[in-house]
A and B are shown apart, each in its own frame.
Chain A
């Protein structure tokens, strides 16, 4: 398992999409906001970090998983003695650790150029939130890539999942005046718990941090079971 993990981590670090989604785009966004809308940067920092991590862990990896399936890699894996859960865990944890390392780097740049109160403790507290969320999204990407047939279908499906998550969250605007249904739906939105976990880490709100991690862990468990139950070895 450690070999698979190390090889996957090495391979992920060479991934161009990781560089674009998780480094270039968020840093460009942070610098642009710092220059043109410095007051808004403090509010949207958590949103930018969360979106960039989700894009990589969910969208990019969904395409990678679909591509592996279409080329027959999972068919080959099926003929080996490796248990499916072990493969999914190794690949997801390896990718998640790379995503967390990159997100932490971007987060530190964001904290440096914004006036968000920060401390070593805040950064340390944000690490488990980033990690659990990244693995959760990687599990979700296994589910989505198993149920679609083509790249076009996958693109549409990831958008249909991702956009409501972002638009129905407080990533870039406050939902305090939103309709009660919208506010209630946030409980079911893993992305909102991801955001509140990062914000709670910055503000050292341990109660909210713990609650966010708990909810994220529930989604993590559901998506893990879902990734195994829906996993398709061959082409659909």
Chain B
């Protein structure tokens, strides 16, 4: 598998607070990686650093191509949309921002894939949370990216909404898109992730496939693994 992103010794502090400490990781093509950890652990900051939207204080990031942003999509936790724009206008806008030409039929297909075809004339900010999350993922994947970052895609959703997001991640996986997603949803992580990265207090405390980590920590469920990794590493510090 080709390595898309190789990050070494990443560090970041906001004022006096060190939020990312010596994180080294790599993202390989075709993987679905779950970034896990408690709130404030540094997951979003790491995603921002990998996307080059947050400047690193120290460390190095190597990308598989210099214009990696052209082949990368992002769904932010806050799902922001341009004010006053409809779903359809947002799709057209993002296609233009990513420099891709999409036909009306391609837009229709994209909206259907994300179950938003009925909503295309609705102002994006007036959609339900679940629909906003799906639209944000639809926009992030409009340009057929090789790599997609999803920052807590199922946060704040009901079980039905979470299921839809799981299906969308599976859909991306089937299309061989590399996905990195931050999540607290154990079911989501258990079903979809090829590799887990546990972040705690800004450090990458565990990194491996679910099987490897179950074995390493002597657990059988994702909940136990989550507790064990966070408590174990917390105790060690």
A residues sitting closer than 8 Å to B (CB atoms) are 1-4, 7, 10-11, 14-15, 64, 67-68, 71-73, 75-82, 233-234
Contact = CB atoms under 8 A, between A and B. Distances in A.
B114 to A, nearest CB: 17
B219 interface: no
Interface in B42-87: 51-53, 67, 69-70, 72, 74, 76, 78, 80-85
A81 B67 contact: yes
B96 interface: yes
Given A1-B96, A73-B82, A76-B76, 13 more contacts: A3-B92, A4-B97, A7-B85, A7-B89, A11-B82, A11-B83, A64-B83, A72-B80, A73-B80, A75-B76, A78-B53, A79-B52, A80-B94
A202 B136 CA distance: 50
B95 interface: yes
B214 interface: no
Contacts of B93: 3-4, 7
B78 A71 contact: yes
Given A77-B97, A80-B69, A67 B83 contact: yes
Which of A4, A7, A64, A233 has the largest count of B CB atoms less than 10 A from its CB? A7
A30 B69 CA distance: 51
The 8 nearest A-B residue pairs measured at CB: A3-B96, A72-B80, A81-B69, A72-B78, A78-B53, A79-B74, A73-B80, A71-B80
12 contacts: A1-B96, A3-B93, A7-B93, A11-B89, A71-B80, A72-B78, A72-B80, A79-B51, A79-B53, A79-B72, A79-B76, A82-B99
Contacts of B85: 7, 11
B53 A75 contact: yes
Nearest to B94: A80
A184 B158 CA distance: 65
B98 interface: yes
Nearest to A78: B53
Contact of A68 (B67, B70, B83): B83
Interface in B91-128: 92-99
A11 B81 CA distance: 13
B78 A81 contact: no
